[in-house]
């Protein structure tokens, strides 16, 4: 970060000051400066030692309050030569630092501004589906002074929102927000993805893998997206996703630009990052802050078979590259993330056959509900439309579906088959309650599952969650969805 040199102003008592514009940063000007006393109102905040000497950093203060951005540094060489960097701001000596705005009102104003901007930022980008953002939250407001031509006393409010950590300055006399800026390191990158997959976005069942070859039709299916919550390391590592292993090496970009075509294995890394980040953001939008809220480890294209899996012993998701590379289909990404969700919420989940089937059914359902906002209604209950082009001939190409009409009469003891009973019930709940309510009910219910639960017990948990969250009518709708599958009587 570079900081603009500031004009120097004496802020001593009784002197309504004017900028002097003096600079003391040059080496030539250093020696005479050494003899002078430090100006008033400096508070030592840090002392650093380097090879050539010591460095004293001061915060500028005015009537005991920190002046925002006002700094003063003394660099003392081993021979005693002193260089001064004076970044103090002019503050009129008669500035009244009494406040009329309460800190709580300032915090409220700051958070409203942060939330409004976070919403605008999202809505201006391609991610319109994330229109509603959580409100900013913050700790206590601190009183401070802004110097310069518009000197005033402000409340300094630190907030946290989907944009990261924000510092807002609220005029302590008028209550207006003077400045609001993101100060955290989380950064946005750029990428290109399929969303959710080319078959759905292009509404074209005739697309084929052709052994991972670049094709015009598939290039047209790519869309440019913002990769949020990256940690700034230049890798696809962030708050909710860590691409930990990948065939051909990890994608890296100093400018956090990750744009590849699908024949490049790094494309699948971008897919994994983007779609897992999206789904964790969505979960948090629903109000859940403790559903696999961590940087999920992912291994991409490292398994040659046509399969993907979640390994609870290492808490890692692996996406295979057989047929259509699995991570070219967001529905595969979301299905596996579904397993990670359940393992996070219910340690050791999946101990019985029916719990295993619930795991598979939930993963399929989660893929479908995540696809809803980007699918324009195209074959919604069809799971993994693009990956399935490698191993199905019927159209639409689906690995499985969430609307098979199966009931417990169809149980065959294979978890993926039987998962279609469960996913059908969840999909019916989605249609009855709407997406947000259904997903709140389903995620909330998961917290009450036993690791070796049965269809009936998990269904009861779901009915109970619906009753507590939304009342009797919702509970009756959920009950009916399970009765239709002969899971509940
Ligand atoms: Ca590929
Ligand atoms: Ca492949
Ligand atoms: Ca595949
Ligand atoms: Ca689909
Ligand atoms: Zn699975």
Domain boundaries, the chain: 1-89, 103-184, 188-484
Counting ligands in written order, the one closest to the CA of 328 is 1
| pLDDT grade for 182, boundaries at 50, 70 and 90 | confident
Structure token pair of residue 202: 């292009």
Name the average pLDDT for the chain: 88
Quick check: 32 pLDDT over 50?
A: no
Q: What is the pLDDT of residue 123?
A: 54
Cα(197)–Cα(321) distance, integer angstroms: 15
Q: Average of pLDDT values for 339-360?
A: 95
- The residue among 156, 179, 3 whose CA lies nearest residue 67 is 156
Q: What is the pLDDT of residue 17?
A: 35
Query: Alpha helix locations (H) across 90-226?
Result: 103-124, 198-201, 216-220
Counting ligands in written order, the one closest to the CA of 367 is 4
Whole-number Å distance, alpha carbon 263 to ligand 2 midpoint, is 9
Under 8 Å between Cβ of 107 and 175: no
Sign, Cα dihedral of 387, 388, 389, 391: positive
Counting ligands in written order, the one closest to the CA of 211 is 2
pLDDT digits (tens, 9 = 90+) for 207-254: 999 999 999 999 999 999 999 999 888 999 999 999 999 999 999 999
Phi, psi dihedral angles at 395 (to 5 degrees): -110, 145
Under 8 Å between Cβ of 44 and 126: no
Cα(262)–Cα(243) distance, integer angstroms: 17
Whole-number Å distance, alpha carbon 202 to ligand 3 midpoint, is 19
From residue 195, alpha-carbon distances to 87, 206, 281, 423, 484 in Å are 48, 17, 16, 22, 32
| pLDDT grade for 158, boundaries at 50, 70 and 90 | confident
Cα(404)–Cα(314) distance, integer angstroms: 34
State which residues have CB under 5 angstroms from ligand 5, the bound ion: 360, 363
Phi, psi dihedral angles at 428 (to 5 degrees): -65, -35
Q: Which residues pair with 152 in a beta bridge?
A: 146
Quick check: 20 pLDDT over 50?
A: no
Q: What is the pLDDT of residue 137?
A: 63
| pLDDT grade for 136, boundaries at 50, 70 and 90 | low
Quick check: 203 pLDDT over 60?
A: yes
Quick check: 465 pLDDT over 50?
A: yes
Q: What is the pLDDT of residue 262?
A: 98
Q: What is the pLDDT of residue 39?
A: 86
Q: Average of pLDDT values for 65-82?
A: 93
- Residue 125 zone, left/alpha/beta (φ > 0; ψ -120 to 50; rest): beta
Q: Average of pLDDT values for 384-398?
A: 97
- The residue among 317, 270, 282, 265 whose CA lies nearest residue 296 is 317
Quick check: 374 pLDDT over 70?
A: yes
Whole-number Å distance, alpha carbon 249 to ligand 3 midpoint, is 20
State which residues have CB under 5 angstroms from ligand 4, the bound ion: 371, 382, 385
pLDDT digits (tens, 9 = 90+) for 283-319: 999 999 899 999 999 999 999 999 999 999 999 999 9
Whole-number Å distance, alpha carbon 334 to ligand 4 midpoint, is 11
| pLDDT grade for 184, boundaries at 50, 70 and 90 | low
Tell me how crowded residue 321 is: count the other CB atoms within 10 A of its CB. 22
Quick check: 102 pLDDT over 70?
A: yes
Cα(184)–Cα(181) distance, integer angstroms: 9
CATH class held by domain 188-484: alpha beta
Whole-number Å distance, alpha carbon 19 to ligand 3 midpoint, is 67
Quick check: 128 pLDDT over 80?
A: no
CA 436 to chain centre: 18
Whole-number Å distance, alpha carbon 258 to ligand 1 midpoint, is 14
């Amino acid at each position: 970060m570079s900081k603009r040199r500031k004009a120097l102003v004496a802020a001593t008592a009784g002197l309504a000051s004017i900028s002097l514009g003096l600079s003391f940063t040059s080496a030539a000007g250093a020696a005479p400066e050494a003899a002078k006393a430090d100006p008033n109102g400096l508070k030592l905040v840090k002392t650093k030692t380097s090879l050539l000497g010591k460095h004293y950093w001061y915060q500028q203060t005015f009537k005991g309050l920190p002046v925002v951005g006002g700094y003063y540094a003394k660099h003392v060489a081993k021979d005693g030569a002193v260089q001064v960097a004076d970044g103090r701001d002019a503050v009129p000596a008669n500035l009244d630092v009494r406040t009329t705005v309460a800190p709580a009102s300032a915090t409220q104003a700051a958070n409203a501004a942060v939330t409004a901007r976070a919403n605008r930022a999202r809505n201006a980008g391609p991610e319109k589906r994330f229109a509603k953002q959580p409100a900013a939250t913050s700790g206590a407001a601190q009183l401070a002074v802004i110097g310069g031509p518009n000197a005033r006393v402000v409340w300094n409010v630190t907030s946290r929102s989907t944009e990261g950590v924000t510092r807002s300055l609220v005029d302590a006399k008028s209550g207006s927000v003077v400045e609001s800026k993101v100060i955290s390191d989380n950064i946005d990158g750029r990428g290109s993805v399929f969303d959710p997959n080319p078959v759905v976005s292009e509404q074209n069942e005739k697309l084929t893998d052709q052994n991972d070859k670049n094709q015009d039709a598939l290039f047209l299916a790519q869309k440019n997206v913002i990769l949020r919550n990256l940690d700034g390391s230049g890798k696809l590592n962030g708050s909710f996703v860590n691409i930990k292993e990948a065939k051909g090496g990890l994608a890296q970009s100093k400018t956090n630009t990750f744009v590849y075509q699908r024949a490049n294995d790094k494309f699948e890394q971008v897919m994994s990052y983007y779609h897992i980040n999206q789904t964790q953001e969505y979960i948090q939008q629903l109000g859940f802050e403790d559903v696999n809220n961590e940087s999920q480890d992912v291994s991409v294209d490292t398994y040659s078979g046509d399969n993907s899996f979640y390994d609870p012993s290492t808490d890692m998701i692996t996406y295979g590259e057989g047929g259509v590379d699995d991570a070219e289909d967001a529905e595969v990404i979301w299905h596996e993330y579904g397993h990670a969700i359940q393992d996070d919420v219910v340690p050791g989940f999946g101990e019985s056959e029916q719990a295993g089937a619930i795991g598979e059914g939930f993963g399929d359902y989660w893929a479908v509900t995540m696809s809803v906002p980007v699918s324009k209604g195209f074959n919604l209950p069809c799971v993994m439309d693009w990956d399935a082009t490698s191993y199905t001939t019927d159209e639409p190409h689906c690995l499985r579906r969430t609307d098979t009409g199966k009931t417990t009469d169809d149980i065959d003891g294979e978890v993926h088959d039987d998962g279609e009973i469960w996913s059908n019930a969840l999909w019916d709940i989605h249609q009855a309650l709407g997406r947000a309510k259904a997903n709140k009910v389903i995620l909330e219910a998961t917290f009450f599952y036993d690791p070796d639960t049965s269809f009936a017990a998990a269904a009861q948990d779901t009915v109970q969650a619906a009753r507590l969250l939304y009342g009797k009518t919702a509970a009756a709708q959920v009950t009916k969805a399970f009765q239709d599958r002969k899971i509940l009587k």
